[in-house]
Chain A
Amino acid sequence: MATITYREALNQALAEEISRDDQVVLMGEEVAQFKGSYKVSEGMLEKFGPDRIIDTPISEAAFSGLAVGAAMMGMRPVVEFMFWSFCYVAFDQIFNNAANVRYMSGGLINVPIVFRGPANGGTNVGATHSHTPENFAANTPGVKVICPATPADAKGMLKSAIRDNDPVCMMENTILYNLQGEVPEEDEFLVPLGKANVIREGKDLSIIAHGKSVHTALQVAETLEEKHRVSVEVVDLRSIRPLDVETILSSVRKTNRVLLVEENKPFCGVDAQIAFIIQDQAFDHLDAPVKRVSAIDVPQAYSKTLESFQIPDHDRVLAKAMELL
C-alpha cells in the first residue's frame, strides 16, 4: 500500500491502462501540454506521446462524438471533461449515441468508452460550472455511472471502467483531488462497478452517500458517536448504475433508520430513487421515515457564503440525523 492523492490515483490508473492496451487513449481539453486542467495527466504526454495523450480544441460535441465513433470501431477512448458541466454541449453524443447504439443495433455494436471529469459544486465557480449530472446520466439506460469517493476507488474503478465494454460516466470531484489515501500498488488492482462499500460499520443509523458526501457523512458519524453515543453506519455507494441495492437494504435492515445524503439537487436526484427502493423493499424494517439531505434546490450560487449553505455540510446533515434518533 502506498499513500497517494486521489489525483495521483487517477494518473496511475490511466498510465497503467494506456500501457496495457494499445487502443486506450486519453483526450480532452488541456490534457497533454498543459498536463490537465487539474493536473490529473501530469507527465503522461512525456511518457506516452501525442498519439495517446491528445489535446483537443474546446469542442466537446466533436471530440466526444469522435471518441464514440472510435469506440464503435473498437478503440477504448477516455474522454476527460474539464468539468462534467461541459457535457451539456455534447449531450447528444453521450446520451443518444453512446448510450443507444448498442440497443438500436440489436447488440451488434459496443461502445467501450469512459467519460470522466469533475462534477461538483463548492468551488465558487457559479451555476454553469457546478453541475452534478449523475442523476440524469443514470436515468439513461445504456450508460453506467460511478462516483468514487476515495483514492483507492478512483484508481480501481477507473481501471475497471476502461476495461468495461459499455459506456461509463465517471464523476469525480475537484475538492477530492488532493485527498490522500492508501492505494494498493499491484497492476491488477480493480474495484468492480456496482459494489457499495460499508466504509464505517454501525448499528443505530445508516447514512447512505456518494462522492464527497461520503466524507461529510463520516464526520457526522464521528460527532454522533462522540457526543451522542450513536453508532452510525456509512455506506459509500461508489457506483450509481449499477446500484448495489443489496448492500443498501442490508444496512437498512440492520439499523432500521436511514439518512440519504447527496450534493445533487433533490428533484429526481439519485436519492429519490434510493428512497423509493428502501420503502418498497424494506418498509417493514423502518422505524422512522427515510430522511434526506441534498443541495438546496436553486441554481448553484457563486458567493462562498451562499454556496456553503447550499451544499450539505456537517451541521445540516447532523441536524437531519438528529430528527431520526
Chain B
Amino acid sequence: MEGLHHDTNLDEEKTASKPKDATHPSGPESSVEGDGAAPEVVEDKPDTPAAVSQPKDSVAPDEPEQVVGSEEEESDVFANKAANQNLSPGSKIELYEQMVRIRRFEERSLRAYQQGHIGGFLHLYIGQEAVAVGSVSAMSKDDHVITAYRDHGHALAVGMDMDECMAELFGKKTGCSKGKGGSMHFFAPDKNFWGGHGIVGGQTPLGLGMAYALKFNKKKGACLCFMGDGATNQGPFYESLNLASLWNLPVIYIIENNGYSMGTAEARHSAGEPLARRGDAFDIEWSVSHGHDLYEVRHTISEALERAHAESRPSVLEIITYRYRGHSVADPDQTYRSKEEIEEYKKSKDPISLFKEKLLKEGHLTEEVAADIDKRAKEEAEASAEFAQASPFPEPEELMDDVYWETDNPEEKKSSGTMFFETI
C-alpha cells in the first residue's frame, strides 16, 4: 500500500511533488474485494427524505478528534514554504474558521435534509474542507473557480454566505439561484465562482474556457477547475487536457481524490495510478499531494498558480482527501467501505483537527478561541437554517424567469415569436 500513488519510474523532475504516503487510509486493495459483485445501492435515488435511513449516530457532528502527531515534520516543511510563511496569525485563524464554518454548515444541512426540508441529493464535503479553503485562499483577483456537484465547501470558501446557500438547499426564493439550482448548482460570478455542475466531468471543458477567456483578454489569472477522482474517467476531461496543453491555457485541474467514485473504490474504477499522471501524456505538470494538510494544499496550489500566471501553463493536481459521509445522503455508505476506515481517517487525518493542532503549537490559537469559532460557526449555520425556513418559496410564475436573457429583458428584446410552448 505504501507508495501506491507514486509507484512509477517517471522522471522525478517532471512532477512537482510526490508524497510518500499519499494514500487512502485502507488503500484500494482492501476497500472492496474484486468479486465483481455490484454494490447493492450505487445510485442516488430520489428518495423521499423520510425513506433515507441513517444510522442513529450519523446525525452526530463530525467532532474533530485529538490527532496523534505523526505528520509533524512534514507539516513544518509546508508551513515554511513561500505560500505560508508570510501568513499572518489572523489569516491563519481565518482559514481555520472557514473550515469549521463549512463543516458546521454541512452538518446543519444534513439535519435539515433528514427533517425533510431539502429535496433531491445532498453531497456533503465533510472531511475535504482543507482542499477548498486552502486552494481558494491562494487565489488572486483574476483567478476563477469552477467545480462539480459537491460544491458547498467551495461556495463558502469564495465568500458566499450561509443564508443564500442554505436557502437554495431549501428551494427558497432567497437562495443563491432563487431555488432553481439546488445543492449541485451554486453560483456566484461576482466572486469568480462559476458553479456548481451536476454532470461528472462536464465542467472540465468549461474551466478550460474560463482560462481561455482570461488569456484572450490578457488577464493575469487562472481557472481552478475542481473535480473528483471519478471524473478522471470521462472523455471530455482528456479532450480538455489536450487543448489546455496545446493552447497553453492557465487552467488548473484539481482532482479531489476522496477514494471513491460514488461507491466504487479507485482500484475498481481506474487503471494506472496515480490519476494525476494522466496529465503526463499531454506534457502537463502534475503532482500528488495531501489534502488533509492545509499548508500543503496552499503550497501545491500556489505553485500551480505561479505556473499559470507566469508561463500560462496548465497543471493537474491530485489531492488525496476523504469524505466522511456517503456520496450523497441517500447513500447508505455501508456496502463499499467499513466504518473503521472512516474512523481511522477521522482520527489521524482530519484536516480541521490537524490545522488546529498546528495553530495551537504555533501559539496563534487557544482552545478558548477555537471553542468560540466553533460556537459561532454553529450559530451561523443554525441561523442560516432559520433564515431558509422563514424564507418564502418562489411563486409559480417565477418558473418562467431566468430561462432566456431576452425574455427577462423585454424592453431590449430584439426577437419576436413564441418562446415557450406551455406556460403558467
- Our verdict on whether A and B bind, yes or no, reads yes
Question: A64 to chain B: which residues have CB within 8 Å?
Answer: 205
Other-chain residue from B196, B206, B214 in contact with A72 (beta carbon distance below 8 A) = B206
Residue B197 at the A interface, CB < 8 A?
yes
Q: List residues 250-273 of chain A with CB under 8 A from any CB of chain B.
A: 273
Question: B239 to chain A: which residues have CB within 8 Å?
Answer: 59, 61-62
In this complex, the member of A66, A97, A110, A141 whose beta carbon has the largest number of chain B beta carbons within 10 angstroms is A66
- Determine if A65 and B416 form an interchain contact, defined as CB atoms under 8 angstroms apart: no
Question: B198 to chain A: which residues have CB within 8 Å?
Answer: 96
CA–CA, A246 and B414, complex, Å:
17
CA–CA, A221 and B176, complex, Å:
54
Other-chain residue from B176, B189, B199, B404 in contact with A166 (beta carbon distance below 8 A) = B404
- Determine if B415 and A69 form an interchain contact, defined as CB atoms under 8 angstroms apart: no
Other-chain residue from A96, A104, A106, A164 in contact with B414 (beta carbon distance below 8 A) = A164
- Determine if A66 and B212 form an interchain contact, defined as CB atoms under 8 angstroms apart: yes
CA–CA, A122 and B214, complex, Å:
42
In this complex, the member of A57, A61, A75, A144 whose beta carbon has the largest number of chain B beta carbons within 10 angstroms is A61
Residue B273 at the A interface, CB < 8 A?
no
- Determine if A73 and B404 form an interchain contact, defined as CB atoms under 8 angstroms apart: no
Question: B414 to chain A: which residues have CB within 8 Å?
Answer: 160, 163-164, 190, 192-193
- Determine if B206 and A68 form an interchain contact, defined as CB atoms under 8 angstroms apart: yes
CA–CA, A196 and B406, complex, Å:
18
From known contacts A93-B202, A106-B176, A142-B403, infer whether A70 and B181 are also in contact, taking CB-CB under 8 Å. Answer: no
Stretch with Cβ within 8 A of A (4 or more), from B21-29, B92-100, B114-122, B240-248 = B240-248
How far, in Å, is B168 (CB) from chain A's closest CB? 9
- Determine if A65 and B205 form an interchain contact, defined as CB atoms under 8 angstroms apart: yes
Chain B minimum-CB-distance residue to A61: B236
- Determine if A103 and B206 form an interchain contact, defined as CB atoms under 8 angstroms apart: no
- Determine if A93 and B418 form an interchain contact, defined as CB atoms under 8 angstroms apart: no
Other-chain residue from A75, A108, A190, A193 in contact with B177 (beta carbon distance below 8 A) = A108
- Determine if A194 and B403 form an interchain contact, defined as CB atoms under 8 angstroms apart: no
Residue B7 at the A interface, CB < 8 A?
no
Question: A195 to chain B: which residues have CB within 8 Å?
Answer: 415-417
Residue A239 at the B interface, CB < 8 A?
yes
Residue A51 at the B interface, CB < 8 A?
yes
16 further A-B contacts with Cβ under 8 Å, apart from A59-B242, A106-B175, A165-B409, are A59-B243, A62-B243, A66-B240, A70-B209, A97-B206, A104-B180, A106-B176, A106-B179, A108-B187, A190-B414, A193-B417, A194-B416, A195-B417, A196-B417, A239-B417, A243-B417
Q: List residues 77-126 of chain A with CB under 8 A from any CB of chain B.
A: 92-93, 96-97, 101-110, 112
CA–CA, A63 and B239, complex, Å:
8
Residue A245 at the B interface, CB < 8 A?
yes
In this complex, the member of B185, B206, B242 whose beta carbon has the largest number of chain A beta carbons within 10 angstroms is B206
- Determine if B216 and A69 form an interchain contact, defined as CB atoms under 8 angstroms apart: no
How far, in Å, is B119 (CB) from chain A's closest CB? 15
Residue B194 at the A interface, CB < 8 A?
yes
CA–CA, A196 and B415, complex, Å:
11
How far, in Å, is B234 (CB) from chain A's closest CB? 9
Question: B146 to chain A: which residues have CB within 8 Å?
Answer: 69
From known contacts A65-B208, A68-B209, A142-B404, infer whether A104 and B181 are also in contact, taking CB-CB under 8 Å. Answer: yes
What 1/0 mask marks residues of chain B from 385 to 424 whose CB sits below 8 Å from any chain A CB?
0000000000000000111111011000011111111000
